[in-house]
Amino acid sequence: MTIASTTLEGTGTTLTDADIDNLRRSVRGELVVAGEARYDEARRVCTLKAAYDPKNLFRINANIAP
């Protein structure tokens, strides 16, 4: 699997399976990509979070796990 993505500088790049595996090992939490079982659920949560907490204020709430 490869994933087309955009860097922080705005240039296009492609992530390979090895890149995705390295990313999975380096992030805290679960990395879910399109086509995986939990992708739709994760996308819905991210969409709701962006709509209701656009400034990411809930990140400081100790009652909400990261």
The answer to whether 3 touches 20, Cβ cutoff 8 Å, is yes
Q: What is the pTM of this model?
A: 0.58
- Mean residue pLDDT of the chain comes to 86
pLDDT surpassing 60 at residue 19: yes
- β-partners of residue 4 are 14
Domain limits of the chain? 1-31, 35-66
Summarize pLDDT for 32-63 with one digit per residue, the tens: 988 899 999 999 988 998 888 888 777 666 66
Per-residue pLDDT at 50: 87
The answer to whether 54 touches 41, Cβ cutoff 8 Å, is no
Torsion on CA atoms 30, 8, 52, 48, rounded to nearest 10: -50
